[in-house]
Structure 1
Amino acid sequence: MIYINARFLTQPITGVQRFAIELCRSLKRSSYADRIQLVCPPNVLHTEIAKELQALPVGSRSGHLWEQLDLPVFLKSRGNPVLVNLANAAPLLYNRNIVTIHDLSVYQSSKWFSFTYRSFYKAVTPVIVSKALKVVTVSNSIKKELVDRLNLREDKVEVIYNGISELFLSGVPAENNKENYILTVSSIDPRKNILSLVRAFIKADVKDHDLYIIGGKAAVFSGSGLEREVMGRSDIKLLGRVSDEELLRLYSRAKLFVYLSLYEGFGIPNVEAMAMGVPVLTSNISSIKEVCSDAVSYVDPLDVDEASNEIKRLVGSTHAQKELSVLGLERSKLFRWEYAGEKMLKLLFHE
């Protein structure tokens, strides 16, 4: 039996949790389903998903304490099976881990995370990857970082790309359903660079168009200047978190998707937009260029003038929108959770 650390079921869904949930769905649809068991803390947040994936609650603690204490005790009672960890962490005192590291953002900037968070992950990440049986990551760009920064052998690191949820594969909306807004989807934190996007949108001055920002916003305003930029503007709408159904509707009707992140492991929102036939303008950073290839338009995420000019050009060019839409749709076909599941099964069962 292979066990999966399903602590992610206790966390709000961002890109990391989406990867874990969708990959587990793919695994549980496979012929190996009866050889795979998810285990989770008792404080599950996503109860319907836990039920769907047949996650087994174990222990009494939550968070890191559950992961570091309750989970290893349970596994030892089951004969020390292989444990698959899908969300950047693993039990330090357990020696049969497969560990997924989505990125090494804690090493990039001291401004992106709290001191405590950054210090914790900078301390534990080298330990868990060095002890792991295998390390999984979501792009060759991050694989190179893992090899170079943490001194891992290349053959120890397996790349498994993210996929696109079935929600986004239900068909491309007709062009006449498009509305006059630009969309971004992001867990809002400093590395997502929302402030530069807002400034580029304001500077572009595209008439009769709004900017819709989807994502948690509780911590973004503190000292960022974003609140000051947005205040009093009716054309910039902070929508917070939305349901999957509402997310699908907003993707499907957007005229342009813009994602100016400073650092990514993969960049799921770009691929979701591409799969919906939405033209994409995004950052010219290595992992995004690997994933999106020539199917999107690129800018320097720190160059507000360049981003502003490209927003204006794309909004004003039906031809450019159609061209990117076609290229994006074709590129997005490479990313399916079925393919990710097949790669994970091959890693787990060597078949």
Structure 2
Amino acid sequence: MKIIIDARFTRLDHHDGISRYGASLIAATAKIAEVSMLISDVRQLALLPNVPYTLINSPLSPAELFVARKVNALDADVVVCPMQTMGSWGRKYPLVLTLHDLIYYEHPAPPGFLPAPVRVLWRLYHRAFWPQRFLLNRADVVATISATTAALISKYQLTRRPVRIVGNAPQHGHAPRDPGSGADKTILYMGSFMPYKNVETMIRGMAELPDISLHLLSRITPERRAELEALAPAGASITFHNGVTDAEYEAMLGRTTALVSLSKAEGYGLPLVEAMSHGTPVIASDIPIFREVGGDAVSYVHPDSPQEFAAAVRQLEDAELWKARSLRSVERAADFSWDESARRLLDAAAEAKELHERRRP
């Protein structure tokens, strides 16, 4: 089966969640099927696997309305897009579109990197469900990354198409840390600083952890940093790294006491799985998607309770508890793999092809 995967959402300098998902899925699927990809900028190739590609328009270009004309000529058995926004007018190929989450219906602030006109459309788009239904129903099969999101798609009746789970996974290739080596007195946060990520609760909780250092690893705007620094308790040790390399991230995961995420909404929570694959315990907000991903390996706290967060950190100072959580984290992370996601994608692609052929006159 010849599969074309849309890689035009790949970032130019460093991966975000969508970018890493697409690149990892391409790499894994290329091991078991004939895969090529669509890109919109040759600089994206630095973050993508070495598979054949076609250079076409940006997914944010007005030309996206007519992109199917270009893709038709590529003679794909199935086209897969890791987003739901790919243009499809006039398509002649089976199509799998992906909806990662429904976060922005409850938290409508758009990502800051989007152009201003797109941010306006983003807010309008998330004011009602019918635009989402319109986009998803253009597909033959809809993919999503978690059972939590699949349940929400069903709850809000967002599509008439079959919904299949093609999950996220950690980046393997490293050995888990030695659980007997202990940990330094640090905790890590990896993720954006959008309001729903709830970094504020974490910072307030540092008032009870004066001997622990909190490391905020992701890139942050000066304005957002100033807002968060104003909340920092006196004497708290909080470091804004404003971005780290993958190697730096892995090294810090190999030493820290825990990775923390107190987000109020997530599509998946990839940093949790990344940390667990290293044998690093996780402290997370008690929300359905984190329960799905973390199972019994994670310490769950109320997202609005700095006290519960601080208490969970203190509990991990017990060496035997920390070791048990480290070992269980590795076991839990092993349940997720890109190879399994690639097999699921092939199943979804075959189903899309069958359904598409049934609809042909």
Structure 1 length as normaliser, TM-score? 0.87
2:218 to 215, 219, 225: 215
Give 1:324 shift.
1.1
What is the Cα deviation at residue 53 of structure 1? 3.1
Q: Does 1:19 align with 2:21?
A: yes
Distance 1:328 1:51 in 2: 28
Give deviations 1:99-128, integer Å, cap 9, x for gaps: 111101111124566554232456743211
The size of the alignment, in residue pairs, is 339
Measured on the aligned residues, the alpha-carbon RMSD in Å equals 2.6
CA contact (8 A) 1:90 1:97 kept: no
Indicate how the Cα distance of structure 1 residues 323 and 56 shifts in structure 2: closer, same or farther if over 3 A, else same: same
What code does the residue aligned with 1:162 have? Answer: N
Name stretches of at least 5 consecutive residues in structure 1 with no aligned partner: none
From 175, 184, 202, give the equivalent of 1:179: 184
Structure 1 partner of 2:104: 106
For residue 61 of structure 2, what is the aligned residue in structure 1? 65
Q: Distance in 1 between matches of 2:64 and 2:234?
A: 47
Equivalent residues of 1:173, 1:276 under 8 A apart: no
Choose which of 186, 195, 201 in structure 2 pairs with 1:196: 201
1:147-185 CA distance string (max 9 Å, x none) = 1113435x7110122111124x43324643732211111
1:135 corresponds in structure 2 to: 142
Instruction: Give how far 1:220 is off.
Output: 6.4
Cα 1:162–1:121 shift into 2, 3 Å: same
Q: Match for residue 163 of structure 1?
A: 169
What is the SS of the residue equivalent to 1:302?
coil
- The 2-side partners of 1:144 and 1:187 are apart by 25
Distance 1:173 1:84, change over 3 A: same
Q: CA deviation at 1:230?
A: 4.0
Change (3 A) 1:94 1:16: farther
1:48-86 deviations in Å (ceiling 9; x for gaps)? 23462332212xx43411672463221133457532111
Name structure 2 gaps, 5 residues minimum. Answer: 112-118, 355-361
Greater alpha carbon shift after TM alignment, 255-264 vs 63-72:
63-72
Whole-Å Cα distance in 2 between the matches of residues 300 and 137 of structure 1? Answer: 26
Determine the structure 1 residue equivalent to 2:87: 91
Following the alignment from structure 2 to structure 1, what is the Cα–Cα distance between the partners of residues 106 and 266?
Answer: 11
Counterpart of 2:116? Answer: none
Q: 2:131 & 2:263 partners in 1: Cα distance? A: 25
The letter for the 2-side match of 1:344 is L
Q: Tell whether the 8 Å contact from 1:257 to 1:279 is kept in structure 2 after alignment.
A: yes
In structure 2, the residue matched to 1:339 is: 340
SS of the residue aligned with 2:224? coil
For the residues of structure 1 that align with 2:84 and 2:110, how far apart are their CA atoms?
A: 17
In the other structure, the counterpart of 1:289 is: 291
- The answer to whether the 8 A contact 2:66-2:89 is kept is no
Instruction: Identify the residue that residue 39 of structure 1 maps to in structure 2.
Output: 38
Letter of the 1:342 counterpart: R
**% identity of equivalent residues:** 22
**Greater alpha carbon shift after TM alignment, 270-279 vs 85-94:** 85-94
Contact kept? 2:284, 2:300, Cα under 8 Å: yes
Contact 2:132–2:158 at 8 Å: present in 1 too?
Answer: no
The letter of the residue matching 2:134 is V
Tell me how far 1:303 sits from its aligned partner: 1.8
* Higher relative helix content: 1
User: Aligned match of 1:77 in 73, 79, 83?
Assistant: 73
Structure 2 CA distance, aligned partners of 1:182 and 1:147? 37
Write the distance in 2 (CA, Å) between the matches of 1:288 and 1:67: 38
